[in-house]
Amino acid sequence: MSEPKKVGRRTFLNYATAIVATGVIVGAATYLATPKGATTTVTVPAATTTVTVPGAATTVTAPGATTTVTAPGGKTTTGVPQGPLKIGLTTFLSGPSALEGSHAEATAELFVEEINASGGILGRKVELVKVDEAIGTDALIKAVRKIVTEDKVEFITGLVSSGDGTSLAPIIEKELFVPTVYSTATTKALIEDVNPNPKFIFRASNYDPMECIAAARIVVKYFYPDVKKVAGINPDYAFGRDEWAIFTAALKKFKPDVEFVYEAWPKLGTTDFTSHISALLASGAELVYSSLFAGDLMTFVQQAGPMGFFKKIKFVDSVCGSIYSDLKKDWFPEGVLAGMRQCWWTYPPNFPFREQFFKKYFDRTKKYPIYTGIGTWQGLMAFKNAVELGYSLLGYWPDADTIAKLMERTMSMMTPVGYRYCRPEDHQTVGNQIFGVTKHVPEYDFCQLDPLYVYPPEEVTPPPKVKTLDWINSW
Amino acid sequence: MDAGFLLSFLFNTFFYFSILISVSVGLTLIFGVLGILNLTHGAFYALGAYFTISIFSYFTGTSNPVLYTILLIVASFSVGVIGMLTERLLIRPVYRLAQEYQLLLTFSISLVIYDIIRYIWGVMPYLHREFFSSLGYVEIAGSIFPLYYILLIGMSLLSLLALYLLLYKTKIGLLIRAASMDKDMAIGLGINVKMLYSLVFGLGVMLAAYGGALQVPFTAITLGMGGEETNMAFAIIAIGGLGSLKGALLGAFIVSLVRALGVFYFPELELVVIYLVMFLILCVRPFGLYGKYERRV
Amino acid sequence: MNAPQFRRRRVTIYMLMLLTAIILTVIHDFLGPYWSYIVMYGLTVGIIGLGFNLLLGYNGLLSFGHAGLFGIGMYTVGLSIRYFNIDSLELLILLAIVVGFLIASILGYIASRLILVYFALFMLAFGQIIFTLVYKLYNITLGSDGLPITVTKIFNISFSSRAEFLYYYYYFVIIVFILCTLFMWILVNSHFGKTIQAIKFDDIRVTYIGIPVHKYRYIAFLISALYATIAGAIYAPLAGHITPDNVSFVFSGEIVYLTLLGGMNSFSGPIVGAFVYTLIKVYLSTITEYWQFVMGATLIVIVLLFPNGIMGLVGLASSKFRKR
């Protein structure tokens, strides 16, 4: 019940105060939007005309003098569209996973700066349109829809979360039709269940079966061959579920007598692992397999260390690579089997490409790049090469369909971490899978790996079109 | 089930209990005296944590535990003062309005605070390790207990004791209790109830911030922290009875016990169990286990 | 009862709704896929707002758990598609209504006996239970990854592509919206509606007159819950993909926000609020990441200065106009 209205002066003052207050608030909000280390989305209001016929593919019309109308199945026939080339970067820009996502952002920015310094792609300057994955899957889908249909983004890269990857896939393949490279999003569900015959979507990083199977092999052969009791702690979403399922299947195949004594499923972003740590310690496990990454991994290790966890239990984490230059000696223990995916700062040795690239990156960010960064870079290069190749063959800027087709070939390339091959059947890119056991070394403040285990992709990857679990069962 | 396991299970329960009581006692205190369900509690919890870690960062290099403890209390106190200001400026005007408005107002203030935190401290996680590692650990019955956890439990209990002494052994405590029992009578007797309200709100907020501050030495401080603890706090006071301190303690105990059991035996469903308990208790005894019967408004 | 003023208002409402329907239909082809999507989203949220406000504005009960009911609608649709292979829209929505009805009828039995703060807590707990269940039962609901939604048939008409489906779905959503609005309008202006408002003002007095307050509250709760469920069921095919995000406490908060923004003491308040909120959200998320701040700050301003929201302002303005 609100109090009775008071007329006259009071009401006027109310209005005035309210308007001023709202103005101040909105002004403050806009002011807050200016960068303070925060990210700004670069959006140029486009004067575009879109002609959509129900049932046809949505058209992408470039702003400027040339208006192109694409009928389904038709081709654009103008040279190079005018106006900037907008590239969408969807990655974690905030929150605990930002430790992983920031590499995608940094690599993309570096790439764009260099490309624009040399004139852009076929003369078109590149602009990044950033979307923060931390806003949640639902909001992300809405945002991606917006940047494609409204901002006319022509390529999307950077995506990190497996959950977002599987959710976004049908929308991109069936509704938006934009070439997309997931930098990470490594769940096998993407190419086995959700999107087995991709057209527009590519995945740049090694995916889950590779690290899980490599981990199982290393454990059985080198790390802990007599292990009997194994427990797991994995984040409760697509990625964590995937990892545990594959690792346990592979391990069981190698060692049928192994027993899985406990599984913890903390929510992504949990800040208090003490109960989980106690439960793991109480379960009698000898080895714990984890796919916790970035902020969660940090919190877990910092809470587990003082509780004596690493004295009693051998620890395996498949994605230490998410923060490898932050694994400082003073809190991260030795003797952990750490997974790096495709990216370790000294591998391949004596490789100038890697040395230059990593040095440039380190000078800028004070960290070494991780798989999200290399994946984003690879996607951007593939796109650029596809566009240039298409142009050189056809004489005009190719349409989205053609670019996607060409990317099937241009995606395979020599990267700063070695050669990576993209399988045309499912657009999955594979390369060396790196693991190592952490060691404290006087020269460096972050943990080094000794011994280092590098598996070539053929040894740890199921063949295309074969489901991982079926493949493991067939051994 | 061996001694070591039982010990660590009990320890876990007690540990989580200590984290929760600070927050929930503050919440129930505010409701008991002011009659408001304070939805800003979680925001102040987070603010307490961020404040603390910022203050700590000025002292990196030293590892004197006493110093850190004092800083912790200072940080919580500062946030308590901020709470008082908030009450005075924003919440006081709505006392005379219906309860919906009060709930909505506290809800919106919490949103504002969260984004202010985001603006000031940014989006990356923060860590502070010195305090924790400077204390070391003890080994009992094969299980290892970091000393900080024991300190935390001690500090929580001390704060409870301090609150009890304040409320039941000092004059101001008497005034507060009087105002909570019968506001109009208290005004009639010449007690400055408005001032008391601000004070109590600040005290409640300080307790919440204290809860957050205690987390700092062993948790990564990120955006969205405290969400779980706040929800637990609501569950606790719903179970124990809004406005009842005894209820908050009992509720906290139940919740921490259920959570510890949940993590051990039902790791898949840990959190659901707690909300189920809250839900069931609200079904059966909507006023909680110790709640006062209220006239329907 | 048939005083000229009242009749005029009734006629105005029907005309307004007809006008809205016509305008929305006419501009459809000019909107393009993105803005059509926004309109549909606004309409869906408007439906929840209407249902929510039945409890808040007309009954004085603040529920922080309506997202849970929304989630029940969404996930009934999602799970039915995934496990029962049901393909046609009307069947899915019907299922959602049935499930929502069952759950709400049990829930309402307890909820209708609770007063304000306890009601809020109760609904909060309920919302959180649904959210945690959906999140944690990974093997059934796919947790935070969410469920894909593909609906290809409305009333046995098949669609060849998603774009085509969305095109015609637009009209379907408008129809559902109009129906819901009409029903709510009739409801609040009926004997039932007046009684509910009386209960809000003084329930003890109403009990003394001999009216069973519980029953009325129960029915109001049921209807409000059903509206949220229907909105959720409608939302699922629209989004193409559902996640627990829309079942969270945050979303409950947004429902509260939009109702207050539009004005909780007016009928059309929630609808206006739904659209304004959708627009603000879309626009603001491109210029600032501090969306929460704006939401909180505007809500503070509304509570302190404009408890009647936008429609309250409109009312003030128009009454000033009429005075001349």
Structure confidence by residue, pLDDT tens digits, A235-284: 988 889 889 999 999 999 999 999 999 999 888 878 778 888 888 888 88
A1 pLDDT band, cuts 50/70/90, is very low
Whether A237 and B224 have beta carbons less than 8 Å apart is answered as no
CB of C152 less than 8 A from some CB of A: no
**Which of B78, B215, B70, B71 has the alpha carbon at shortest distance from B152?**
B215
CA distance B246 to B237: 10
CA A167, CA A172: separation in Å to the nearest integer? 9
Q: Which two tokens stand for residue A447?
A: 């943990």
pLDDT at A151: 87
Residue B8 has pLDDT above 70, yes or no: yes
Which of B144, B223, B260 has its CB closest to that of A308? B144
**pLDDT on residue C151:** 77
Q: Do A17 and C241 touch (CB under 8 A)?
A: no
Residues of chain A found within 8 Å of residue C201, distances taken between Cβ atoms: 1
Read off the pLDDT band of B193 (50, 70, 90).
confident
CA B259 to chain A, closest CA, distance in angstroms equals: 9
Site from A164, A237, A244 to mutate, C interface, most C CB atoms within 10 angstroms: A237
- The whole-angstrom distance between B173's CA and the closest CA on chain A is 33
DSSP assigned state of A320: G
Task: Give the pLDDT confidence score for residue A160 in this predicted structure.
Answer: 92
Residues in chain A closer than 8 A to C285 (CB atoms) = 135, 139, 143
Answer yes or no: is pLDDT of A49 > 70.
Answer: no
Structure-token pair, residue A423: 């399988």
Mean pLDDT, range B208-213, rounded to an integer: 90
What pLDDT, on the 0 to 100 scale, is given for residue A228?
A: 93
Cis peptide before A235 (omega within 30 of 0): no
Residue A340 scores a pLDDT above 90: yes
CA distance C133 to chain B (A): 6
* 8 A C-beta contact, residue C228 and residue C76: no
Closest of C37, C59, C182, C163 to residue C112, by C-alpha = C59
Listed in order, strand segments (DSSP E) in C78-174 are: 147-148, 153-154, 157-158
Which residue carries 């004295």 as its tokens? Answer: A311
Name the DSSP class of A48: -
Lowest-confidence pick of B175-189, B205-219, B257-271, C107-121: B257-271
Residues 160-179 of C with CB under 8 A from A: 160-164, 167
Using a CB-CB cut-off of 8 Å, the residues of chain C touching A5 are 316
Q: Tell me, what amino acid is at C284? A: L
CB contact under 8 Å between A32 and C290, yes or no, is: yes
pLDDT at B178: 82
The predicted structure's pLDDT at residue A2: 42
3-state secondary structure of B1: coil
Q: Facing residues of A129 across strands?
A: A88
Two tokens, residue B1:
């089930």
**What is the pLDDT at residue A54?**
37
Residues A207-227: what's their mean pLDDT? 93
Cβ neighbours, 10 Å, residue C313: 14
3-state secondary structure of C114: coil
Residue indicated by tokens 């792609």 = A121
Q: Do C286 and A43 touch (CB under 8 A)?
A: yes
Separation between Cα atoms, residue A199 and residue A89, nearest integer Å: 19
Per cent of chain B over pLDDT 90 is 6
User: Would you say residue A331 has pLDDT above 90?
Assistant: no
Q: Where does residue B241 fall: left (phi above 0), alpha (psi -120 to 50 degrees), or beta otherwise?
A: left
What is the rounded average pLDDT of the residues B109-126? 84
- C 233-252 residues with CB < 8 A to A: 239-243, 245-246
Q: Which residues lie closer than 8 Å to A289 by C-beta, 6 or more apart?
A: A215, A230, A231, A232, A234, A243, A244, A247, A316, A317, A318
Question: What's the distance, CA C197 to chain centroid?
Answer: 19
CA distance C324 to C318: 10
pLDDT at A221 over 70: yes
Asked if A176 and A58 touch (Cβ cutoff 8 Å), the reply is yes
Averaged pLDDT, groups of 10, chain C, 324 residues long: 52 76 81 82 90 84 87 91 82 90 89 78 86 83 79 76 81 89 87 84 81 85 92 89 83 85 83 86 71 82 80 75 58
For an interface test with A, the pick among C29, C31, C34, C300 (most A C-beta atoms closer than 10 Å) comes out as C34
On the question of pLDDT at A12 being above 70, the answer is no
Chain C interface test: which of A30, A50, A132, A138 (most C C-beta within 10 Å): A138
Q: Do A32 and B119 touch (CB under 8 A)?
A: yes
Q: Say how many CB pairs under 8 Å bridge B and C.
A: 120
Strand partners, A429: A422
Residue A35 has pLDDT above 50, yes or no: no
CB B234 within 8 A of CB C124: yes
Q: Answer whether A37 touches B (CB < 8 Å).
A: yes
Cα–Cα distance for residue pair A165/A461, rounded to 1 Å: 20
- Token pair in block for residue C300: 């503070």
Q: Is the pLDDT of residue A313 over 90?
A: yes
Residues of chain A positioned with their CB less than 8 A from the CB of B132: 302, 306
Burial group, residue A28, by CB count within 10 angstroms (0-12, 13-18, 19+):
middle
A93 to chain C, minimum CA–CA distance in Å? Answer: 11
Place of tokens 């926000």: C257
The predicted model gives A316-331 an average pLDDT of 90
A187 contacts: CB under 8 Å, gap ≥ 6? A162, A165, A166, A207, A208, A238, A239, A242
pLDDT of residue A177 exceeding 80, the answer is yes
Q: What is the pLDDT of residue C7?
A: 53
Helices (H), A150-233: 162-171, 189, 208-218
What is the average pLDDT value for chain A, to the nearest integer? 83
Q: Of C62, C296, C303, which has the smallest distance from its Cβ to B111's Cβ?
A: C296
A446 contacts: CB under 8 Å, gap ≥ 6:
A324, A325, A326, A327, A328, A329, A332
- What secondary structure letter does DSSP report for C246? G
CA distance readout (Å), A57 to A69, A386, B24, C184: 11, 21, 55, 39
- For residue C305, the chain A residues in CB contact (below 8 A) are 14, 17-18, 21
Instruction: Return the ∠ at Cα A356 (arms to A353 and A357), rounded to 5°.
Output: 80
How much is the pLDDT for B63? 67
Contact A11/C316, CB-based, under 8 Å?
yes
Q: Has residue A361 got a pLDDT over 90?
A: yes
Q: A335-354 in b/e burial notation, b at 16+ Cβ within 10 A?
A: ebbbbbbbbbbebeeebeeb
Q: Is the CB of residue B59 less than 8 Å from the CB of residue B236?
A: no
| Option in A18, A32, A241 nearest C293 (CB) | A32
Q: What is the pLDDT of residue C322?
A: 62
Residue range A201-221: average pLDDT? 94
Residues 6+ apart with CB under 8 A from A197: A426
Direct distance between the N- and C-terminal alpha carbons of chain A, in angstroms, rounded to an integer: 72
The set of residues, in sequence order, having a beta carbon less than 8 Å from that of A248 and lying 6+ positions away, is A230, A232, A260
Q: In whole numbers, what is the pLDDT of chain B averaged over residues?
A: 81
The Cα B85–Cα B72 span in angstroms is 20
Q: How far apart are CA C231 and CA C73, in angstroms?
A: 7
Higher pLDDT, residue A127 or A65: A127
pLDDT digits (tens, 9 = 90+) for B14-58: 888 888 888 899 888 888 888 888 888 889 999 999 988 888 888
Best of B115, B116, B269 to substitute, by most chain C Cβ atoms within 10 angstroms, is: B115
Rounded to whole angstroms, the Cα distance separating A240 from A259 reads 19
What amino acid occupies position A104? A
Dihedral of alpha carbons A13, A17, A20, A26, sign: negative
Q: Give the three-state DSSP class for B61.
A: coil
pLDDT of B12 reads 79
Angle A319-A322-A325 from CA coordinates, rounded to 5°: 120
Residue type, A76: T
